[in-house]
Chain A
Amino acid sequence: DVKVTQSSRYLVKRTGEKVFLECVQDMDHENMFWYRQDPGLGLRLIYFSYDVKMKEKGDIPEGYSVSREKKERFSLILESASTNQTSMYLCASSLSGGSHTQYFGPGTRLTVL
């Protein structure tokens, strides 16, 4: 079974703090994704990565950056957290080659005060 883990289930940060959300997958997947989920808006793609050190912007990259130094780990960084970044953050991974099937972590609920 594919396992995708996220470093925290719940996180509370202050406005202006730098925030790191970590995601690790154990199935040697090439593709990794970061989404945010808000009520009524579904899942929106922030960034994705198709290989180590490779990344592409998703639909809502503003205010976020990412890092992928190792194949199994994909980090989402909020350089200066703001209250409008309070959300549920979901990480996913998939095998490259056309399957498109994404496997999700349990999510991190981030609150920025």
Chain B
Amino acid sequence: AQSVTQPDIHITVSEGASLELRCNYSYGATPYLFWYVQSPGQGLQLLLKYFSGDTLVQGIKGFEAEFKRSQSSFNLRKPSVHWSDAAEYFCAVGARSGNEKLTFGTGTRLTIIP
């Protein structure tokens, strides 16, 4: 079975600074990988996803993520954060065979300071 680890529970960055959120997964092959964002009191919105091909994936709101097979990682990055990026971020993994469930990490809460 697959699993996901988001090692950072809470990250604080200054507005305009760069951001990297970490995600490590455990799966026997190359999985499907996702990043979702959840604003306070809202549901989850898809930021980006990796299925195959180019390991650097571009998403919405200026985010990108890089799949590194050797490190079993799929870290999310943004070169310059905005106050509106304050939210909770979830990494998720899906198996390429079998059912279409996703396994989610425990989330990283991002705080932006002026």
Q: Which residues of B contact A31 (CB under 8 A)?
A: 100
* CB-based nearest B residue for A102: B102
* CB-based nearest B residue for A10: B41
- A sample of 12 cross-chain residue pairs with beta-carbon separation below 8 angstroms, ordered by A number, consists of A31-B100, A35-B104, A43-B44, A43-B90, A48-B99, A50-B99, A56-B99, A100-B100, A101-B34, A101-B49, A104-B43, A106-B42
Given contacts A42-B90, A50-B99, 4 further A-B contacts (CB under 8 A): A92-B44, A100-B32, A104-B36, A106-B43
A41 and B94 CA atoms in complex are apart in Å by: 18
Contacts A40-B9, A101-B34: A45 and B43 contacting too (C-beta < 8 A)? no
Chain A interface main SS type: strand
Interface mask (A88-113 → B, CB under 8 Å = 1, otherwise 0): 00101010101111111111010000
Binding site for A on B (CB under 8 A): 9, 32, 34, 36, 41-46, 49, 90, 94, 96, 99-102, 104-107
Interface mask (A14-52 → B, CB under 8 Å = 1, otherwise 0): 000000000000000001010100001111010010100
Contacts A42-B107, A100-B32: A48 and B42 contacting too (C-beta < 8 A)? no
B43 touches A90 (CB 8 A): yes
Q: Does A76 contact B (CB under 8 A)?
A: no
